[in-house]
Amino acid sequence: MNTSTGSKHRIVVGVTGGIAAYKAVQLVRLLVKDGHEVHVVPTEDALRFVGAPTWEAISRHPVTTSVHDDVAQVRHVALGQQADLVVVAPATANTLAKMAAGLSGDLLGTTLLATAAPVLVAPAMHTEMWLHAATQANIATLRARGVHLIGPDSGQLTGQDSGPGRMSEPEAIHAEVGRLLAARRDLAGVRIVVSAGGTREPIDPVRFIGNRSSGRQGVAIARAAAERGADVTLVAAHVDEGVLAEVPAHIRMAHAGTAAELGARMTELAPEADVVIMTAAVADYRVANAAEHKLAKEDGAPTIELVENADILAGLVAARRPGQLIAGFAAEMPTETETVIERGVRKRRRKGADLLAVNEVGWQAGFERPDNAVAIIGPDDSVVAEARGSKREVADALLDAVLRLRG
Ligand code: CTP
């Protein structure tokens, strides 16, 4: 990734096979005019609409679709690794499906898999294709992974039809690129340690007491922070496999099974961190009499003795170094006497965290879902922010609150 702090960036423009490819010419012109280094990566199909000489002339860089050109420079991954932003315009239904599946059959595919930079897609297709459940599912997958979306606009499409499916105008895409480039480095140089997932407390070698945390929210925070320039370490308790697969390689990872292991990892890592975020769902109790051998029914119903685990968050607050900011999460249900916020306020005080993101859970809400809704309680017990939407959006809201508090 380009670490320059100036306003000139390295941008990859992926162009895929739709008639709107001709409008991407204007987008590339605008980006080049800004002084950015622009590399156009068309698909084979895109070249049927606008040829390589046009892209080379306006981007002033060589253009290829193949992973076999320029092999000595490892171009198939270098473009993605070095990019500050990748924009795919137009993005066809086929390309969105390939992106959602992680296919890498051409240079654009490998570039998208190799990049840790923000990705912006500008879909363009017929209305029926845009509204199809398959396309909508692919868009949801990409958004959950943090891909940014612009459009499509509604209006006249190729032929007689009109409706949603028109690619956004190049000027609008250009403005969105500018916004993403300006916004994303606001955590540069900040060292963040995030815990995610649920701990598992063994009962015997094959059984455990666990919880329904998928790790999605913690992973979303780690990814958002890394994208915004932070130096991130993710401490993963049990995290769903699919969620773990979305952690980019440049995020450092540590693993922890039990609450005690998670506590040990966090205690090791926290002294080097500017910000610590405890997103993990930590078991309050562990099994005191965990069996060395697998329990069998013929032994009779076991009595499981529980002992309390240390409160990791409170421990980190007690040991914190000056200037370190510590945030937690709490999943709460209202009671007859207290609202979710009142419970959150009490919990924040009890643990001493600077920020506590509180969400309401029930049997249906909160866990194992792509969306979340939280109220963030600040050091003075007021709600400093509310966020509702994808776990990525909630992650960004929490990171914004962290930044405001750091001043
Ligand atoms: N937490 C922790 N160590 C524990 C329990 C919780 O660090 N042993 C952290 C969680 O990671 C989270 C916050 O504390 O950031 C709140 O977790 P929660 O389970 O709601 O807290 P509890 O103290 O267990 O509260 P309750 O009595 O409501 O279960």
Tell me, in angstroms, the distance from the centre of ligand 1 to residue 310's CA: 10
Domain ranges of the chain: 10-183, 191-406
The answer to whether the CB of 92 falls within 8 A of the CB of 139 is no
H or E element at residue 274: none
Check if 111 has its Cβ closer than 6 Å to any atom of ligand 1: no
Nearest-angstrom CA–CA distance, 266 and 320: 12
Structure tokens, 24: 């991407």
pLDDT for the residue numbered 366: 56
Give me the sign of the Cα torsion angle 326, 329, 334, 339: positive
Cα–Cα nearest to 38, from 169, 173, 210: 173
pLDDT for the residue numbered 72: 66
Structure tokens, 381: 């017990």
Pairing between β-strand 119-123 and β-strand 148-149 as defined by DSSP bridges: parallel
Check if 258 has its Cβ closer than 6 Å to any atom of ligand 1: no
In the residue annotation, 211 being an active-site residue is answered as yes
Check if 278 has its Cβ closer than 6 Å to any atom of ligand 1: yes
**Which of the following is catalytic: 211, 289, 309, 359?**
211
Structure tokens, 68: 């076999």
Fold agreement (10-183, 191-406): yes
Check if 372 has its Cβ closer than 6 Å to any atom of ligand 1: no
Q: Which atom of ligand 1 is nearest to the CA of 331?
A: 20
pLDDT for the residue numbered 112: 96
Q: Considering the domain 191-406 in this protein, what is its CATH number?
A: 3.40.50.10300
Check if 280 has its Cβ closer than 6 Å to any atom of ligand 1: yes
Fold of the CATH domain 10-183: Rossmann fold (3.40.50)
Give me the sign of the Cα torsion angle 66, 33, 157, 143: positive
Q: What are the average pLDDT values for consecutive 10-residue runs of the chain, which has 407 residues?
A: 60 97 98 97 97 96 84 79 96 98 95 93 96 95 87 84 92 93 84 98 97 95 91 97 83 96 98 98 97 95 97 98 96 94 97 95 61 92 92 93 94
Q: Which atom of ligand 1 is nearest to the CA of 330?
A: 20
Nearest-angstrom CA–CA distance, 265 and 254: 7
